[in-house]
């Protein structure tokens, strides 16, 4: 296992963190990761992260749910066991489609929601019994941590981070 050094800059305010991220990015340093106790609005944009494509997945999963609903209701109510319910004969799918709309909606939402959760966990590499990757437990309470790799510029980074309002700056060996 090869170890490399990273700097952990700890902040106690999200506005100070946002200002620091902009300063660090302006100085052309790569920010490896930021750990926060709650989502910070605009942080992904300030870090220069690409927009998420999870919305595309949600749409595709919704389409799968709608398709499953249509095929399931057509098979169950029209082909397999047509019934005369309340004087409404089940001779064709189109004649009965208004009664099927709630089921189509519910299965669309069901598939989109459940498959999105699974996709999010897989994409985030979060699965049962996985060890937490949080480098400092204070980031789950009230502190913010910025992780920057060190490439022979430790003093320069330390000085820059001290100027940005970091309350604590630590150099750590991180195993890859």
pLDDT, tens digit (0-9, with 9 covering 90-100), for 134-170: 888 888 899 999 999 988 888 888 889 999 988 998 8
Q: Give the confidence band of 3 by pLDDT, cuts at 50, 70, 90.
A: low
Question: How much is the pLDDT for 51?
Answer: 87
Phi, psi angle pair for 51, to nearest 5°: -65, 150
Q: What is the residue-averaged pLDDT of the chain? A: 89
In tens, the pLDDT along 66-100 reads 999 999 999 998 888 887 777 776 778 888 888 88
- In terms of C-beta density within 10 A (0-12 exposed, 13-18 middle, 19 or more buried), how is residue 59 classed? exposed
Looking at the chain, the whole-number percentage of residues with pLDDT higher than 70 is 95
Side by side, which strands form the sheet with 144-149? 33-35, 144-149, 3-11, 168-175
The CA-based angle 10-47-154, given to 5 degrees, is 50
Closest CA to 22 of 172, 171, 164: 164
How high is the pLDDT of residue 175?
Answer: 66
Which structure tokens are listed for 138?
Answer: 């204070």
Helix, strand, coil tally for the chain in percent (to 5): 50, 15, 35
> What gap in Å lies between CA 44 and CA 69, rounded to an integer?
37
Cα dihedral value 116, 119, 121, 123, nearest 10: -140
Percent of the chain with pLDDT over 90: 47
Among all chains, which residue has been given the structure tokens 């052309």?
28
CB 7, CB 161: distance < 8 Å:
yes
Query: Using 50, 70 and 90 to split pLDDT, how confident is the model at 176?
Result: low
Euclidean distance between CA atoms 100 and 76, whole angstroms:
12
């Amino acid at each position: 296992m090869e170890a490399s050094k990273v700097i952990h800059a700890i902040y106690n305010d999200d506005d100070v963190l946002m200002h620091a991220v902009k300063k660090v990015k302006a100085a052309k340093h790569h920010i490896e990761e930021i750990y926060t106790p709650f989502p910070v609005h605009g942080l992904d944009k300030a870090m220069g992260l690409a927009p998420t494509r999870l919305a595309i997945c949600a749409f595709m999963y919704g389409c799968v749910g709608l398709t499953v609903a249509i095929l399931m209701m057509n098979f169950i109510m029209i082909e397999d066991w047509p019934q005369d319910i309340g004087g409404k004969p089940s001779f064709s799918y189109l004649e009965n489609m208004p009664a099927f709309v709630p089921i189509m909606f519910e299965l669309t939402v069901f598939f989109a929601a459940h498959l999105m959760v699974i996709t999010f966990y897989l994409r985030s590499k979060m699965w049962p019994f996985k060890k937490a990757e949080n480098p400092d437990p204070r980031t789950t309470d009230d502190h913010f941590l910025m992780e920057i790799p060190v490439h022979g510029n430790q003093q320069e980074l330390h000085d820059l981070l001290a100027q940005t309002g970091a309350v604590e700056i630590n150099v750590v060996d991180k195993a890859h």
